[in-house]
């Protein structure tokens, strides 16, 4: 074990939407669309690896089956527009189609080995709309 691994925060590698994400608490990740509203608490149960906090690395079968990563849905989003262009030469055959992937932005609230959501993760955060409204009403910015 190297000397810097003692101060590394706890992290996990989770699988969501066919992709793997390395996350730790308070990280913001973008995953494929989840059926959840902004502010909802979601649990990722497909934990592939756990590590950090100076402990040993748990990979594969050594990860506890009850391990969960909890996150709070920030906002739904859409990815960048992708252009699909198909052409068959000398046949005057051209087809253009666009695609935008539906995504969900999630902020990681907690990593749990026993599958229970900590009280801090279960507590409701301050609504995003109120935070934005307070920033708009500051008198110094209105001049």
- Do the domain assignments include residue 90? no
Q: Are 73 and 46 in contact (CB under 8 A)?
A: no
- Do the domain assignments include residue 93? no
What percent of the chain clears pLDDT 70, i.e. is strictly above it? 78
- Do the domain assignments include residue 63? yes
- Only one residue has tokens 């110094």, namely 140
3-state SS record for 22-47: EEECCCEEEEECCCCCCCCEEEECCE
Integer Cα distance of 140 and 13 in angstroms: 43
Q: Which pLDDT tens digit goes with each residue over 23-78?
A: 999 899 999 999 999 999 999 999 999 988 777 888 988 889 899 999 999 999 99
Residue 80 has pLDDT above 60, yes or no: yes
Residues 6+ apart with CB under 8 A from 13: 20, 21, 22, 23, 47, 48, 49
What is the domain extent for residue 51? 3-77+103-142
Residue 131 has pLDDT above 70, yes or no: no
pTM of the predicted model as reported, rounded to 2 decimal places: 0.73
Q: How confident is the model at residue 87 (pLDDT cuts 50, 70, 90)?
A: very high
List C-alpha distances in Å: 81 to 24, 74, 97, 100, 113.
Answer: 29, 21, 10, 5, 38
Q: How many domains does the chain have?
A: 1
- Do the domain assignments include residue 11? yes
- Do the domain assignments include residue 64? yes
For residue 6, what is the DSSP state? G
As a whole number, the mean pLDDT across the chain is 83
- Only one residue has tokens 């992709």, namely 19
């Amino acid at each position: 074990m190297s000397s810097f691994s003692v101060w590394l925060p706890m992290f996990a590698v989770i699988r969501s939407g066919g992709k793997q994400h390395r996350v730790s608490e308070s990280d913001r990740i973008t995953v494929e669309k989840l059926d959840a509203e902004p502010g909802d608490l979601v649990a990722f149960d497909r934990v592939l690896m756990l590590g950090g906090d100076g402990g040993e690395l748990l990979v594969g079968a050594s990860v506890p089956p009850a391990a969960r990563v909890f996150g709070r849905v920030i906002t739904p989003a859409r990815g960048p527009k992708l252009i699909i262009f198909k052409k068959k030469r000398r046949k005057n055959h051209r087809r253009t189609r666009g695609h935008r992937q539906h995504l969900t932005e999630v902020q990681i609230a907690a990593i749990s080995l026993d599958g229970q959501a900590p009280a801090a993760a279960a507590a409701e955060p301050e609504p995003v709309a109120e935070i934005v409204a307070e920033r708009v009403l500051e008198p110094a910015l209105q001049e």
